[in-house]
Amino acid sequence: MFGVIQYGFPDPEREEKIMSVYATVGAIDSAKSNAFYNAVLAVIGWSKHQEFPGWCAYSEGGRGEGFVLWVCQPFNGEAASAGNGSMIGFMAKSRAEVDAFYGVAMASGAVDEGAPGARPHYGPNWYAAYMRDPAGNKIAIVFNG
């Protein structure tokens, strides 16, 4: 399951609407997937900001603003499956943060899809790592600076 939608919602503390974009990744085992995302996203300052049965939402600082990642069980009750060609990418603040994210991911059950390193074919400063979460969804962590 993968989707990207932009929407606006009112914030009771503000007069304007906050624009947000979200993506969903399917979870085969919600507890295992959420333990994975709790660990790896903490490296880049993200945390869970909303949860209900079968669904958890993560965002930078746990504020629920900007880009939001939902980890969820599919609505149709079928097993979650990773999309071919789909990937969620997160930005790191440094090469060290890419390395740390990758290390935590590997320790939390990720499958390696590309160890941290320079990817000059994407740009002169592109440093990234690629992995699959416990449900097989491909994720990237990138520093481009």
pLDDT in tens, 100-141: 999 999 999 999 999 999 999 999 999 999 999 999 999 999
114, 122 Cβ separation under 8 angstroms: no
- Output the pLDDT for position 81: 84
Rounded to whole angstroms, the Cα distance separating 48 from 107 reads 20
- Output the pLDDT for position 12: 52
All structural domains of the chain:
4-73+88-144 (3.10.180.10)
Q: Label residue 133 exposed, middle or buried (CB < 10 Å: 0-12, 13-18, 19+).
A: buried
- Output the pLDDT for position 16: 53
**pTM > 0.85:** no
- Output the pLDDT for position 18: 54
Phi, psi of 77 (to 5 degrees): 80, -5
pLDDT in tens, 18-76: 556 889 999 989 999 999 999 999 999 999 999 988 899 999 999 998 899 999 988 88
